[in-house]
Amino acid sequence: MQPRVILASRSPARATLLRQLGLEFTIAPAHVDETVMKNENPLAYVRRVARAKASKVAAQNPGCVVVAADTPSVLGRRILQTPETAEEVRVMLRQQSGRRVTVPTVVAVVDEHGKLRDKTIVSWVKLKRLSEREIEHHIQTGLWQGTAGALKLEDTEHWIMQMHGSRSGIMGLPMYETALLLRAAGIKLP
């Protein structure tokens, strides 16, 4: 019998992606400190946060396999957090307009014995130049809420001029790497 699989995320996109593997799983969001440390490298940050999420939920659910991920948007070396106000969205979208945005994702899996493994995927998108009208419309839709960098690929793909890397990674859960880690954790996939 396979151990129970838990997705340590409240992201609907991650749940949708994980379902594509044909797994039954439960959801238990991990609440960890996602504050960026002073001078923290973006890749070190995303790995630290993903591993913390997986470890926390695994500690609360011994004997289970836990999947966690983190996917910030990075402009240069600056991590774009999740905006809380319309003004923060305006600033972020203006900064990203016409530019290449790096989207690193780390998926971390803890097996039923407590062994933690992770994989890092680095993708990027280049956005078209956004008009003020497009920015204001995006704010009005509310689609930016709960999203790092104020953009969700599935809602703003028409703004993307170029994309490189893992589409599912950009959406929050790189499928190929997730499947590898789940198999390494003893989960049989269809």
CB half-sphere exposure, 50, CA atoms < 13 A: 29
> 87-121 b/e with 16+ CB inside 10 Å = b?
eebbebbebbbeeebbbbbbbbbbbbeeebbbbbb
Residue 133, SS3 per DSSP: helix
Please confirm, yes or no, whether 70 is among the known catalytic residues: yes
Catalytic residue among 70, 111, 118, 155: 70
Amino acid residing at 142 = G
The answer to whether the CB of 42 falls within 8 A of the CB of 74 is yes
Please give the positions annotated as active site. 70
